[in-house]
Chain A
Amino acid sequence: MKKLFFGVLAALTFAAGGTFAGTLDDVKARGNLLCGVSTGAPGFATVDDSGKDVGFDVDYCRALAAAVFGDPMAVKFVGLTSAVRFTALAAGEVDILARNTTWTYSRDTDLKQTFLGVNYYDGQGFMVKKELGVKSTTELDGATVCIQVGTTTELNLADYFKENGMSYEPVPTADNAESQQQYLAGACDTYTTDASALHGTRVNLENPDDHLVLPEIISKEPLGPLVRHGDDNWADIGRWVLNALVIAEEKGITKANIDSWKDTKDAEIHRLLGTGDDDILAMVGLPKNAMYNAIKAGGNYGEIFENNLGATSGINIERGVNASWTKGGILYSPPFR
């Protein structure tokens, strides 16, 4: 009995071999970046008609790969459901998780993850069929709700209905696709997840106009990429690639005009693009032009947003709070010096 116990114990973590310090060296030795993304969240991570990975999270990983290798295609995407994502990251199956994941206290501390920042300020919403005649979440008492298991939305949902003295029946599903299927089949009255994902899902439905995303946002969902605890250098690289994309938007550096800044008087731009004398990126073990490559990969934060979530993408999500602080949003990067 005792033997069995320990055998099981060992077998479970058998896969988690190797050492986790020096992720950058591992990534370089492997020749590509392993990036954990969603198994299908329109706008964030999907596969387009030509079989190419596209999305907001995908583009972040491409920028990171470009920073490390100078090649935005040197990244392998690993589709993870919400339920297995943290285990996959902890076990070293991916180097970084960019899977519209909400930054919370317990995930940061107890799950031993390091969040690199917020790349999308989201909130939980509800989608219903218009024929239901529901206009507000307060009318959802007694509703059957489709919900992805292992998400913060699951906990928010329980709290929200409890606070408002309403009852509901959860229908647990594994991922966005299954939720969508159950919702369309009428096995649940409403589907709840991050509002951005709802908008992305809605436009891909057969008749988007038959569905309505309710106006209420019931939670704060700051989404961001994350890595394992214990490799601060790797966390710094991920964090500053994200910051670089935000700074680039602030400064007006785009994919198209990135080569035209050589004569600028702005010292921060020189540091960022590696066109000045200082090579501050050597501090984290990256080439001098790493951030140049990262921005060149998919453009600055604003361009990535527009291409995947904004008007260009057809999903039409407003920038709202996700605009740069210079334009009334709350995106604000620490200085690059």
Chain B
Amino acid sequence: MSSPSPPPSESFKFSMLLSDTRYRGMSLQVITFIIFMAVFFWLVDNTIKNLALLDKDVSFNFLWLRAGYDINQRLIPYSSDSTHGMAALVGILNTLLVAFVGCIIATVLGLFVGILRLSKNWIVAKLMSAYIEGFRNVPVLLWIVMVFALLTEFTSAPRAFKGAEPEATMVFFESVAITNRGTYLPAPVLEEGAYWLLLCFGLSIVAGIYFLRYANKKKKDTGKSLPTFWISAAVIVLPTFILFFAMGQPVSLEYPYLKGFNFKDGIHLRNSFLALTLALAFYTSAFIAEIVRAGIMAVSKGQSEAAASLGLRPNKIMRLIILPQALRIIVPPLISNYLNLTKNSSLAIAVGYMDVRGTLGGITLNQTGRELESMLLLMGFYLAVSLLISSFINYFNRSFQIVVR
């Protein structure tokens, strides 16, 4: 304590716990802790009593029982004979898929919009402001429903593709079908030898990375810069390209075609998935754009002026001078936007997308009546994912920050 006075001669009185600055801080903390614990125990006690009153127990055995319902979008094998646990897993993967794709689109869009908003071109800057304000100031649920309605109402039903003179036709050389049930893309089919191709591609990427490192080192040592983009692109693409034809095209495309009620084969991107992912990505990208703008503006103007006086072109100034410094400011708030996107994906039920909230927290909860258990598992899942994402990006972030000696 900072009190410089000599020890008081008066004896300790009980009221000093609150009146004396030496004890007050501590006693307030103790009081707060006691109140917190009392409320906490009351809540637990209330829960236990009420559960007993309802004649309910807490059990997670339902996870091993047959689920009995089907899920439309599944990344792993699942049928109505699978367990509720598997249904939850299917939902978890669907959530992660939306979160992953959504975060990537949001980042790219956000970066793009954020930089363009600072453009000196008036119309571009204003358009980007409109984009940001439009998406940022309307609840994301409305955007999700809106995108879904657009996708469903303004596209044709699969039946419209039927007949000699169909009302709707497939686009991109008859390879992509856009319907009110989703978009069907051609799917790559791996034939014999395709794994060599994948291996070759993987090795090429590694080679490309090594080349970039080498080019960087050379630039640092000698000051000469190589045309890195073209060389690395060639290193990554060419070997696979040559091998593809040398091996007689072991990867072919499987085109969607209309059979019965729906399109068969190909990759089916359901409207629920598209609507949720796009709406979340647009919405989050507006926030990311503002973060990017703030990050760029926070870099001292002298930096870009100095770079310009060295003769660097504007896009190189942005890429080599401004963005690397801005990233230090951008990354921490970026994490919370990734977390928001992931958590907002639980709005999936609005468009019938079967994420973990829809399977475990929706159908399973309902069919088994295990509300408490399902909700606890759900919360545990979102908590774990959020902590994982933030710890991963924090790790990534550390490598950017200025090392303080």
Contacts and interface: CB of A to CB of B under 8 A. Distances in A.
To the question of whether A and B form a pair in one complex, the answer is yes
B261 A189 contact: yes
Given A8-B379, A10-B46, A174-B349, A168 B54 contact: no
A154 B54 contact: no
Contacts of A12: 47, 371-372, 375-376
Interface string A132-153: 1000000011111000011000
Contacts of A5: 376
B261 A143 contact: yes
Contacts of A19: 53
A186 B180 contact: yes
A229 interface: yes
B375 A187 contact: no
A159 B68 contact: yes
Contacts of B349: 149, 174
B54 A171 contact: no
A330 B240 CA distance: 72
A186 B157 contact: yes
Contacts of A16: 50, 54
Contacts of A154: 69, 363, 367
A82 B366 contact: yes
B180 A149 contact: no
Interface of A: 3-14, 16-17, 19-20, 82-83, 86-87, 90, 106-107, 110-112, 132, 140-144, 149-150, 154-155, 157-159, 162, 168-174, 182, 185-189, 228-230
19 contacts: A3-B40, A6-B40, A10-B40, A12-B372, A12-B375, A13-B372, A20-B53, A86-B366, A106-B368, A107-B369, A141-B260, A142-B259, A142-B261, A158-B80, A159-B68, A162-B80, A172-B352, A187-B180, A189-B261
Contacts of A106: 367-369
A228 B68 CA distance: 25
B336 interface: no
A187 B43 contact: no
A82 B362 CA distance: 11
B260 A155 contact: no
B38 interface: no
Contact of B71 (A83, A87, A162, A170): A170
Interface in B148-204: 152-153, 157, 159, 180-181
B10 interface: no
A150 B43 CA distance: 29
B226 interface: no
Contacts of B358: 149, 172
A149 B366 contact: yes
B20 interface: no
B371 A87 contact: yes
Nearest to A178: B352
A17 B376 contact: no
A140 B372 CA distance: 38
B54 to A, nearest CB: 6
Given A6-B40, A19-B53, A112 B369 contact: yes
Given A150-B362, A173-B352, A187-B181, A9 B376 contact: yes
Given A12-B372, A186-B180, A7 B40 contact: yes
B27 interface: no
B44 interface: yes
Contacts of A83: 362, 365-366
Given A7-B40, A185-B152, 5 more contacts: A8-B376, A14-B43, A162-B79, A182-B152, A189-B261
B277 interface: no
Contacts of A150: 362-363, 365-367
B70 A158 contact: yes
Contacts of A149: 349, 358, 362-363, 366
B354 A172 contact: yes
A291 B153 CA distance: 51
Contact of B56 (A7, A14, A112, A173): A112
Contacts of A168: 70
A292 B389 CA distance: 65
A154 B380 CA distance: 27
Contacts of B50: 13, 16-17
A335 to B, nearest CB: 31
Given A19-B53, A112-B54, A158-B80, A9 B261 contact: no
A170 B352 CA distance: 10
B366 A144 contact: no
B376 A158 contact: no
Contacts of B383: 4
Give 10 nearest A-B pairs by CB, closest first.
A10-B43, A150-B366, A186-B157, A158-B80, A111-B369, A142-B260, A13-B47, A172-B352, A155-B68, A143-B261
Contacts of A189: 261
